[in-house]
Amino acid sequence: MRSAVTRARNGKMTYREFNAFCRSLTATTYVVQWGGSHVWKVGGKVFAIASGEGDRPSITFKVSDIAYEMLKDQPGLRPAPYLASRGMKWIQHFAKPGLSDASLRDYIRQSHFIVSQGLSKKRRIELGLGVP
């Protein structure tokens, strides 16, 4: 059995770890849709998706324009199928080496923030997200 340290270095977060992390973020909701994908939303808007066979999913998240340019050609990462083809800045972590689990959590946290900033000020206050 691989240790948590080895798994973190290899960047292959499990569904259980992904769901637990997304659940820990403020004002999130969870749904299984699109053929079994684990979809996390903030204010009704998607910020992270885990999909694929087995216990090690591909993980898709929204990024800034700069992060998109930095990540899109990295080994194990790609513009997210469907989303990126429509001009949206989404990255999919799908293979090794990809990102470490710590970096992946940081990008998911940033995705949550980016998506929440697209909500109205009133909705952010209602959800306890504050207003910058």
d(CA 99, CA 42): 23
- pLDDT digits 0-9 by tens, 35-74: 999 999 999 999 999 999 887 899 999 999 999 999 999 9
Asked whether the bond before 97 is cis by omega within 30 degrees of 0, the reply is yes
Locate the domains of the chain by residue range: 4-119
Class of domain 4-119: alpha beta
**At residue 13, what are phi and psi to the nearest 5 degrees?**
-60, 140
**3-state SS class at 79:** strand
Write out pLDDT tens, residues 77-90: 999 998 877 889 99
Count Cβ neighbours within 10 Å for each residue of 76-107 and write b for 16 or more, e otherwise: bbbbbeebbeeeebbbbbbeeebbbbeebbeb
Task: Say which amino acid occupies 70.
Answer: M
Rounded to two decimals, the pTM is: 0.89
